[in-house]
Amino acid sequence: MNPEEASDVEYVFTGHGFDAQLSYLFLNNYEIIGRFSHQNPHSDIELLAPKTNQYTLGITKYIWEHALKLQAEVTNTHFQYFDHSKINDWYIRFQV
């Protein structure tokens, strides 16, 4: 904590988590993906960082081998805080 500014807090994320991903590449160079991520912060920082589960579905079109592709994903993130309050967040990402 910064003694001059109480809202200025820095910490190192500790805890555990994992990622799992499945994908399938069709012969026409389209790929579908599904991904799940989980983060569980250590009890020392649970007041600062929520438990997180993230679910992603996406599609990729490979244009030139694996060097150029178009990718679109939609992700839903569930945050659960130490007081058991929850927030759901959505985002869509496009990449070239």
pLDDT in tens, 32-80: 999 999 999 998 888 888 999 999 999 999 998 878 999 999 999 999 9
Domain ranges of the chain: 15-95
Q: How far is it, in rounded angstroms, from Cα 57 to Cα 75?
A: 7
Closest CA to 18 of 56, 53, 57, 58: 53
- pTM metric for this prediction: 0.80
Q: How far is it, in rounded angstroms, from Cα 31 to Cα 26?
A: 6
| Residue 33, pLDDT score | 98
Q: How many CB atoms lie within 10 A of CB 57?
A: 13
Reported as a pLDDT band with limits 50, 70 and 90, residue 10 is confident
Do residues 18 and 37 make contact, with C-beta atoms less than 8 angstroms apart? yes
Question: At residue 2, what are phi and psi to the nearest 5 degrees?
Answer: -90, 120
| Residue 4, pLDDT score | 76
Q: Does the pLDDT at position 94 exceed 60?
A: yes
DSSP SS3 for 51: strand
**Per-residue CA distances from 2 to 43, 49, 56, 59, 71 (Å):** 22, 18, 36, 44, 41
